[in-house]
Structure formats: C-alpha cells, structure tokens
C-alpha cells in the first residue's frame, strides 16, 4: 500500500487543502500525517491521557474531513484546525461534566505514570489545574497563542483568559517547585 506522500511528495499545504476540499482522500491523508502530531500534543497537554488524546485527535480529524469543504481560505487551515481541536476538547469536557466526573486523574493513575523528567512533571502538574485554566495555559504557553487569540478560540472573555493564565502559571510554579526542590526530598 502506498503512503500519501507517494502521491503528493513535497506538495504545499494549500494545494493539499484544495484537493481535500474536493474530496481527495489521499490529499487529506497527507494533511493528517503532517498535522496529527500538533493536534495530538495539544490534546495530550489538555487531558494527560495518551489514549484519550489519540481518540480525541481522531475525532478532530473526522470533524475536519466532514467539514473541510466549508473552509474558505486554505491559509486559514492551521487556525481552523486548532479551533476544531479546542471545540472537540470542550465538548468532551462538557460531556464528562454532565456525567458527573471531574476530569482529574486519580492517585493510582498518577502513580502509574510516575517517571522522571520535566515534561512528565509538567503534564502531572497541568492535570491538577481546573479544565478551563488548563486549556488557557496550554493554548498560551504550549501553542504560543496571545491572550486575545485564546479568548477568541475558547469564547471566554479576555479578562477571564488573562486571569486563568496568570493563576494557572502561578499554580504550576508552586506545583513544579516541589518536584525540583532537593531539600524537600532530603528532609523526608
């Protein structure tokens, strides 16, 4: 079986988007291949669950495939894809909240993921933040979006976004300081 890049080697993304808008599955497969890591990483930062992140990433690309014909400008694809990803995440959170679950990892799940490394420590700290705060922090710091862009993408007021990011950064600083403070480990 040939891979998408066998069909569209080195094609500009705008060309692939145009082809995908006409229903070209191979062009869309190439778009997925190029962008799936970006979407998966965003989802992993939001939920800290690799399996769930993979499932949500699939949902994102399914929604993109079903609605790519509505995309007016190929140059807007990156932002539109991120908006679809955030929408999928928010829908997941709403569904989970409707079922009465808080969306936090349990202590046993955290213990299973107990490994070293700053990235894993950050992921563990992120999961402790409330979902809206976590989303704003991830979009701002991980995705490099401005406060205004985060507000537009999430539909939250700009002041709320700024507060979430400031409070989230402060909470992360407190949570991560305990991971890296060797004096606390020695006094235990």
The per-residue pLDDT for 180 is 52
- Reading the block at residue 10, the tokens are 């080195």
Concatenating the DSSP letter of every residue in 85-140 gives HHHHHHHHHHHHHHTT---PPPHHHHHHT---SHHHHHHHHHHTS-HHHHHHHIII
pTM comes to: 0.64
Query: How confident is the model over 134-180, as pLDDT tens digits?
Result: 999 889 888 888 999 999 988 999 999 999 999 988 888 887 775 55
CA distance 32 to 4: 10
Query: How confident is the model over 127-138, as pLDDT tens digits?
Result: 888 888 999 988
Per-residue burial over 44-64, b if 16 or more Cβ lie within 10 Å, else e, is bbbbbbeeebeebbbbbbebb
pLDDT reading at 3 higher than 60:
no
Q: Which domains does the chain have, with CATH numbers?
A: 1-103 (1.10.1740.10), 106-181 (1.10.10.10)
Q: What's the whole-number average pLDDT of the chain?
A: 81
Supply the DSSP symbol for 23. Answer: T
């Amino acid at each position: 079986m040939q891979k998408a890049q066998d069909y569209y080697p080195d094609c500009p993304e705008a060309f692939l988007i145009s082809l995908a808008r006409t229903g070209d599955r191979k062009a869309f497969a190439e778009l997925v291949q190029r962008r799936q890591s970006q979407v998966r990483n965003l989802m992993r930062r939001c939920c800290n669950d690799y399996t769930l992140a993979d499932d949500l990433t699939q949902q994102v690309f399914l929604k993109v495939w079903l609605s790519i014909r509505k995309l007016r400008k190929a140059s807007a694809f990156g932002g539109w894809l991120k908006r679809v990803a955030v929408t999928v995440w928010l829908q997941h959170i709403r569904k989970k909240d409707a079922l009465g679950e808080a969306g936090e990892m349990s202590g046993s799940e955290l213990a299973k993921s107990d490994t070293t490394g700053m990235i894993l420590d950050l992921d563990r700290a992120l999961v402790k933040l409330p979902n809206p705060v976590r989303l704003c922090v991830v979009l701002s710091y991980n995705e490099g979006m401005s406060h205004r862009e985060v507000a537009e993408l999430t539909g939250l007021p700009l002041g709320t976004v700024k507060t979430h990011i400031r409070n989230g950064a402060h909470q992360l600083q407190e949570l991560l300081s305990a991971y890296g403070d060797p004096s606390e480990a020695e006094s235990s």
